[in-house]
Amino acid sequence: EPEVTQTPSHQVTQMGQEVILRCVPISNHLYFYWYRQILGQKVEFLVSFYNNEISEKSEIFDDQFSVERPDGSNFTLKIRSTKLEDSAMYFCAKRASGSNEQFFGPGTRLTVL
């Protein structure tokens, strides 16, 4: 299974602060996804990213969220001005061209106090 790693594994932040979640390293994949899973709930699609552009985003992915691939390998999710309800596991996933399969990273647990 293609490896997907994420950092940090756990992030604790104060409400209103900005956080950056990272998906590293990425190799030979062009398609990336971020999903969110609030504790005990289902996995929810946030955004898909292809060729350095957002290809689709959900209603959850509002103006406080942004994604980028700053150095051609790391894939980041930025949450500006975090809210209590942003507390969740955030999973990065990647997909190879020509395949439907998505491989998930281990996730970052975000706790907003």
Site for other proteins, rule CB under 8 A = 31, 33, 35, 41-45, 48, 55-56, 58, 91, 95, 100-107
Comparison of 18 and 53: residue with beta carbon closer to other proteins: 53
Whether 70 contacts 21, CB under 8 Å: no
Whether 99 contacts 43, CB under 8 Å: no
Comparison of 55 and 64: residue with beta carbon closer to other proteins: 55
Comparison of 55 and 111: residue with beta carbon closer to other proteins: 55
CB of 43 to other proteins, least distance (A): 4
CB of 67 to other proteins, least distance (A): 14
Which of 46, 113, 99, 101 lies closest to 75 in space, CA to CA? Answer: 46
